[in-house]
Amino acid sequence: MAEYKRVDRKLEFEGRIVKFYSDTIELPDGQTAVWDFIEHKGAAAIVPVNKDGDLVMVRQYRNAPEQYTLEIPAGGLNAGEDMQTCAARELEEETGFKAGKVEHLLDLYTTVAFCNEKIGIYYTEELTPSKQHLDEGEYLNVEVHSLESLVEMILAGKIIDAKTIAAILAYKAKAGR
């Protein structure tokens, strides 16, 4: 494979969630190019499965696609927090359910072309009712759907969130359903 080398990184903007950089990259032919790079602190998500085998989902407004999306519970890592702890915390904060045993499902990078956001995805089949703890300014609805209906929504283009699509299909494969 050809060699690429970052020779400079310049911080262009720092937001609440991400930092935006201009990276100068030395290309295999010796020329340089400037590429965008977005640094993210990482995140975690969880596929919550209730005793009936249905999945607990959240529907919330997302600014980028300018629409409501149906997603698995997820959120950014707090300082010093591991992904599994984050996934369980986000589950309770967003849905009001505590996770029992939490199992790793997969890790993914959301946008490999320009962002290093890595999401650890977990699942739990042990849910205990608790209390929702939404962040300030966070508004969402909790919904319960069968695995089959979620797969149908994915194939119909009604679920557009990449982490949710990957997580549901991976869980379906793992569960053998």
Question: What's the rounded Cα separation, in Å, for the pair 86 and 99?
Answer: 11
Six-digit token pair at 159?
């679920």
Are residues 24 and 107 located together in one domain of the fold? no
* Number of domains composing the chain: 2
pLDDT above 70: residue 177: no
- Over residues 38-93, the pLDDT tens digits come to 999 999 999 999 999 999 999 999 999 999 999 999 999 999 999 999 999 999 99
Catalytically active residues are: 136
Question: What's the rounded Cα separation, in Å, for the pair 19 and 171?
Answer: 32
- Over residues 141-160, the pLDDT tens digits come to 999 999 999 999 999 999 99
Are residues 21 and 46 located together in one domain of the fold? no
Are residues 151 and 123 located together in one domain of the fold? yes
Q: 5: helix, coil or strand?
A: strand
Are residues 22 and 105 located together in one domain of the fold? no
Are residues 46 and 26 located together in one domain of the fold? no
Are residues 73 and 31 located together in one domain of the fold? no
Q: 42: helix, coil or strand?
A: coil
The partner residues of 128 in beta bridges, in order of sequence, read 98
Are residues 17 and 102 located together in one domain of the fold? no
* Residue 30, phi-psi category: left (phi > 0), alpha (psi -120 to 50), beta (remainder): left
| CATH number of the domain enclosing 83 | 3.90.79.10
Are residues 104 and 22 located together in one domain of the fold? no
Are residues 91 and 9 located together in one domain of the fold? no
Are residues 45 and 32 located together in one domain of the fold? no
Are residues 54 and 135 located together in one domain of the fold? yes
Q: 24: helix, coil or strand?
A: strand
pLDDT at 173: 96
Are residues 75 and 157 located together in one domain of the fold? yes
pLDDT at 1: 81
Average of per-residue pLDDT values in the chain: 96
Six-digit token pair at 144?
């319960």
22-26, 71-75, 132-136: range with lowest mean pLDDT: 132-136
What's the domain range around 30?
Answer: 5-39
pLDDT above 80: residue 21: yes
Q: 49: helix, coil or strand?
A: strand
